Amino acid sequence: MQVADEHRALVRQWCARRVPAEQRDQLRISYTERAGRITISARRAPVFPELGTGWTTEPLAQLRLLPDEERWILLWPDSSGRWHRYPDESKASSPAPLLDIIDADPTGIFWG
Return the percent helix, strand and coil in the chain, to nearest 5.
25, 35, 40
Range of the domain at 87: 5-104
Is residue 31 one of the residues assigned to a domain?
Answer: yes
pLDDT tens-digit readout, 54-101: 899 999 999 999 988 889 999 999 999 999 999 866 789 999 999 999
Q: How many domains is the chain built from? A: 1
Is residue 98 one of the residues assigned to a domain?
Answer: yes
Cα dihedral across residues 91, 63, 26, 18: positive or negative: negative
Is residue 109 one of the residues assigned to a domain?
Answer: no
Is residue 50 one of the residues assigned to a domain?
Answer: yes
Alpha-carbon span 110 to 25, nearest angstrom = 21
The answer to whether residues 42 and 26 touch, using CB atoms and an 8 Å cutoff, is no
**Which DSSP category does 86 fall into?**
P
pLDDT tens-digit readout, 1-59: 789 999 999 999 999 999 999 999 999 999 999 999 999 999 999 988 777 778 999 99
Is residue 110 one of the residues assigned to a domain?
Answer: no
From 50, 88, 71, 57, select the one nearest 1 (Cα to Cα): 71
Per-residue pLDDT at 89: 66
